[in-house]
Amino acid sequence: MQKKDPAIVNFVFIAIALLWIKTYIVYKLNMNLQIENLIQELILFINPISFLMLVFGLGLLLEGIRQKWYVLTASLVISIILYANAVYYREFFDFITLPLLMQTNNLADLESSIWELISPYDIFYFADVMILLIIAYRKPVRIAFQKMQTPSIKAFYFSAIAFFLLNLGLSETQRPELLTRTFDREILVKNLGTYNFHIYDVFLQTKTKAQRAMANGNELTDIEEYTESKSSGSNKELFGEAKGKNIIIVSMESIQSFVIGKEINGKEITPFLNDFIEESYYFDQFYHQTGQGKTSDSEFLLDTSLYPLGRGAVFFTHSNNEYSTLTEKLNKEGYYTANFHANNKSFWNRDVMYSQFGYDRFFSMADYEIDDVNSVGWGMKDIDFFEQSVDHLNDIPKPFYGKFITLTNHFPFHLDSEDKFIDEYNSPSGTLNRYFPTVRYTDEALKVFIENLKREGIYEDSIIVLYGDHYGISENHNPSMEQFLGKEITPFESVQLQRVPMIIHIPGHEGKTISTVSGQIDLRPTLLNLAGIDSKKDIEFGSDLFAQDREEFTILRDSSFITKDQVYTKGSCYDKATGEILTKSECDPYRQRAKLELDYSDKIIYGDLLRFHNNH
């Protein structure tokens, strides 16, 4: 009896199957993608297949060694893309975008953070590539390395297109208008898949590049009407309160409000800030509104009262735009404007952007004496930074506007033992455990800074603003955060954790806590009002924090929003007082408005529309 030939499987199909399975496993084990029903699970399972078929299908046109090299190369490149997203997601709960990849001159400074996120077990992310190498080398008889016939290739590609259309159709049933939700990368990845998301991201980047060339001043009309209609005025009693005084801004790296007034091991985490709040205005419902640009986004919000972009960092992508900035307005009023940050001047493209904003001087790494003793983690320790910065303050004209950016409390939150004023926390998260000593160190540095300002006679003649720039502890550490806070972290609680400290100290004013909902976009109009500068004709989306009739409506960059009574995030509406889920209709009056406001701000940036503004 004649033996049957062994079953033959093409090498290309093995590669597709392995990478498909691996991608789904990474989705389930490494990414916190919320699945609500079986259809969404099916979408998550099938979304990689169309892309993989289209890419690896080219290998079906090759045979022998050429097919092997093509399949192995494609598998390795796609695996690297998947791995990079998984590593980035570990800390930021977000996905890499093309504008983010363009920030290559930041990579050297990011080295310590990147190594913190990499694990020896990550070799398993490339297990399929190793399997393919073994197959290619040993050439098992049941696996073929040959071309397919033209009719079969056509059927293969028709199947790939059919899978994509099925994927898209199912996704639209779950998320109507899916492709307009560019601000929500999790929804896009969950429905389109990591690989198709990156293709869509390239399309978006091409589209945004064309927006400036196609833009015209007529697009500003609706935006001007909108910003004028939402204006809540300003506090007339405080108008000009800072006139002639120095304005000092401190951007406190990664400090969130949950540390204020709290203790670990019986010791205060922020003893100085707790005391400083007692003699200052403290806004305890103040939210950061940053995106992928992190600290640079908070700087952008401060200077422009525009929202940062949903993809990448505007400091990189649109540094040559025209902006109406807080800095240039203070310049015109006779302020000397300076930035102080003991880091490489090109990091986050600051040297270019600061010049565009109108700063007179940028005191960067080259202006500080930095050595191994006064450095840790990302660079110069905050205490040494402030001590040397006060010396620079004595050399610049008065009145001045000075912005200081701290550095020590930066992920991965490393600190020398001699600088730890409190012990580390005890939880499964090493990141959270280290966070508290670095926050305590920055708090001590701020105390030293204020004492030095008093010693030099600067303190009593200065308005001092301290604010957190963005979150420090991501959702990746929620289990340990639940241990610290003593409660479950729901999506509602995650939004509450986006609050950052906001403190304004005005000489001669008593301390007061103001509990109106607000955000970083409100800083520019607040400071301009204090400086006695009218900004009513400016295009700005924030409003004076001290305005008595200000509307309590703050939008986060991911389109979540907070009102006096509600919190909306991840498709759910919550009661702000209790955290209980409400019907979506109770948030409906604000949902479209939040989207509109973000879209308007994006149009200004992508189209460089302020070049057409008469009052610029």
Q: What's the pLDDT score for residue 341?
A: 95
Q: What's the pLDDT score for residue 181?
A: 56
Is the distance from CB of 542 to CB of 305 less than 8 angstroms? yes
Residues 126-169: tens digit of each pLDDT: 999 999 999 988 888 788 888 888 888 899 999 999 999 998 88
Distances in whole angstroms, Cα of residue 373 to Cα of each of 343, 408, 452: 16, 14, 21
Q: Return the closest-CA partner of residue 190 out of 334, 296, 45, 3.
A: 45
Distances in whole angstroms, Cα of residue 106 to Cα of each of 110, 377, 559: 6, 15, 27
Q: How confident is the model at residue 203 (pLDDT cuts 50, 70, 90)?
A: confident
How far apart are the C-alpha atoms of 206 and 198, rounded to whole Å?
Answer: 12
- For range 540-549, the mean pLDDT: 93
Name the more confident of 183 and 38.
38
- For range 545-555, the mean pLDDT: 93
Name the more confident of 313 and 569.
569
Q: What's the pLDDT score for residue 145?
A: 85
Q: What's the pLDDT score for residue 112?
A: 56
List the chain domain ranges.
Answer: 9-211, 233-549
Whether pLDDT at 614 is above 70:
no
How far apart are the C-alpha atoms of 136 and 146, rounded to whole Å?
Answer: 12
Residues 259-284: tens digit of each pLDDT: 999 999 899 999 999 999 999 999 99
Residues 67-119: tens digit of each pLDDT: 999 999 999 999 999 988 888 887 667 777 776 665 555 555 555 566 667 77
Arithmetic mean of pLDDT over the chain: 90
Strands (E), 278-329: 281-283, 286-287
Residue among 295, 408, 438, 563 flagged as catalytic: 295
Q: For residue 72, how many other CB atoms are within 10 A of its CB?
A: 18
Q: Return the closest-CA partner of residue 103 out of 366, 288, 312.
A: 312
Asked if 295 is an active-site residue, the reply is: yes
**Helix, coil or strand: residue 376:** strand
Name the more confident of 93 and 222.
222
Q: What's the pLDDT score for residue 213?
A: 76
Q: How confident is the model at residue 615 (pLDDT cuts 50, 70, 90)?
A: very low
Q: What percent of the chain has pLDDT over 90?
A: 65
- For range 408-423, the mean pLDDT: 93
Name the more confident of 218 and 347.
218
3-class SS letters over 11-27: HHHHHHHHHHHHHHHHH
Q: Return the closest-CA partner of residue 444 out of 384, 506, 359, 383.
A: 383
Report phi then psi at 92, rounded to 5: -105, -5
Q: What's the pLDDT score for residue 183?
A: 53
Q: Give ∠ CA 192-198-200 in degrees, rounded to 5.
A: 70
Check: CATH 3.40.630.30 for 233-549? Answer: no
336-340 and 502-505 strand pairing = unpaired
- For range 566-581, the mean pLDDT: 95
